[in-house]
Structure 1
Amino acid sequence: MEKLLKNGEVYFNTVEYFRKNDVGDYLRGDFAEGLKYSQLINFRSPSLEEFGIKFRNAKINGDTDISHLFSMYMVTSEFWEGKIHFDKRILEFGDYALIINPREFLEKVMKASKYEIKYGPAVYYKTPPIPISLNSFSKREEFKYQNEFRFVINSSSKKPIIIKIGDISDIATMIPTETLLKIEFLKN
């Protein structure tokens, strides 16, 4: 958190990292990360089947293994409309949260990057059945409480990528995460 706030280090890890680090960590890992629909009949994935999930027509998309992700929690208009509230599971993200001006943050990331970056909200899908087409923005519905906004870089690097955007303390502030549970959004 401090590295992001004070040094502006935006840390992108690989999709493969998030898929392989799901063992017991349902916060940062997702064993279905990078899954893509395929016409392969009776495809088997022992790592997925150990969770009791069997896909007849699915495969891991090798192209997404070289994608790199940076994810943020996103406050949407649904908060302002009173339709959703922060889920208490966000406390598991850590003791502190950064409140960031999204437009200025996005501009800084895009300006500092030497990579092509795609960005947008995660799209949550129900399992099963597997949708016909998944991509780096697809995420299982059980993670919907994370309200994720993703930045995606496609790179041949198997190592994390760090983009340095400089100190963002002028556009961000750090608060205790538990404070988010007490926030009330006022309708205009």
Structure 2
Amino acid sequence: MILSERVKDTDIKAYFFVKFMEKKYVDRFKEGYVHMKNLKAYVDMEKDKQKVGVGDKYEGSLVLKGGQLKVYNEADEHLFDLETEEVTLTHEQDLLHPVFCSYVIDMDNLKIIDETNDYVTTNIAMSDEELEKIIEEFPDTAVFISASEFYNRFLAACKNKGYDLDAEKVKYYDYLINQKDRVATFLTDPLVKKAFIKSDYFQHQNEFRFIITNKEIYEPLDDFNIGDISDIAFEMKTDEILKFKTRFKKDTSK
């Protein structure tokens, strides 16, 4: 049973963020240096490697499948219709915001494996196939970070720098369907909200993103420091993350 089904809590809590990286970068990360790329880097990553995975050519884009495209000129005069299998709409400037991406461990992906009168023990609800995808797509080290503490320190560092921060869990959609709420997000919501929508091809990555909304970068942001996080972080090998277990004390006051 998944923890959210057991607890019946409508406020899904994030307990840990997991950042996958090469072992050689772990110490610098624990010192608080948060490496951030822009979204365009992930678009280019797929195009350069010709392989879907960490890279995603649809980052920040509205993808529409199978329909009729109406073309107008600057005077809003209808020119012609075009039948198309796919339409992708992208605003290049939206892809320049710095983003920090991580796997999130929350109530929706913790599986109960043991229960006593006082405690519930869980591990990550991930299939062998999903684990294989993670191992294939990401580096060999997984750094686990206390979610609430990391978020607070990230937010404080942003305020100190004058950065505006938006942080949310990614929502995944079947791009073969033109969902009304997905389209509405691209047409009516703040531009940066596009960055929290991805194809369900990536759903196994269970991603949580931190995006600086009032800054644009062309090269990775390497000097952003949120303060030492070694007290709230520990690492495991990526291929061993299913060994991670966490125990919750039951609320016996009710």
Task: Give the TM bin, normalised by the shorter chain.
Answer: 0.7 to 0.9
Match of 1:73 in 2: 103
Please say which of residues 91-100 and 137-146 is displaced more in the overlay. 91-100
Given that 1:35 and 1:60 are in contact with CA atoms closer than 8 Å, whether structure 2 keeps it comes out as: yes
Given that 2:63 and 2:86 are in contact with CA atoms closer than 8 Å, whether structure 1 keeps it comes out as: no
Cα distance between partner residues in 2 of 1:37 and 1:180 = 33
Question: What SS does the corresponding residue of 1:159 show, helix, strand or coil?
Answer: coil
Please say which of residues 165-174 and 141-150 is displaced more in the overlay. 165-174
Cα distance between partner residues in 2 of 1:15 and 1:126 = 20
Higher strand share: 2
Which structure has the greater CA radius of gyration?
2
Pick from 127, 140, 164: which aligns with 2:175? 127
Pick from 37, 44, 66: which aligns with 1:20? 44
Please say which of residues 125-134 and 93-102 is displaced more in the overlay. 125-134
Match of 2:240 in 1: 179
Equivalent residue runs for 1:153-168 within 5 Å: 153-154=212-213, 155-162=215-222, 163-168=224-229
Cα distance between partner residues in 2 of 1:37 and 1:176 = 35
Structure 2 CA distance for partners of 1:70 and 1:25, relative to 1, 3 Å: farther
Q: List structure 1 runs of 4+ shifted beyond 6 angstroms.
A: none
Residue 62 of structure 2 corresponds to residue 36 of structure 1: yes
Q: Tell me how many residue pairs correspond in the alignment.
A: 176
Structure 2 CA distance for partners of 1:31 and 1:42, relative to 1, 3 Å: farther
What's the TM-score once normalised by structure 2's chain length?
0.61
Pick from 203, 210, 220: which aligns with 1:144? 203
Please say which of residues 116-125 and 155-164 is displaced more in the overlay. 155-164
Equivalent residue runs for 1:69-108 within 5 Å: 69-81=99-111, 84-85=125-126, 87-88=130-131, 89-92=133-136, 93-108=138-153
What's the TM-score once normalised by structure 1's chain length?
0.81
Structure 1 gaps of 5+ residues are 44-52
Match of 1:4 in 2: 29
Query: How far 1:105 sits from its partner (Å)?
Result: 0.5
Query: How far 1:103 sits from its partner (Å)?
Result: 0.6
Alpha carbon RMSD of aligned pairs, Å? 2.6
Residue 158 of structure 2 corresponds to residue 110 of structure 1: no
Structure 2 gaps of 5+ residues are 1-24, 72-83, 113-123, 187-193
1:28 maps to a residue whose letter is V
Query: How far 1:112 sits from its partner (Å)?
Result: 1.1
- What is the percent sequence identity of the aligned residues? 24
Please say which of residues 67-76 and 88-97 is displaced more in the overlay. 88-97
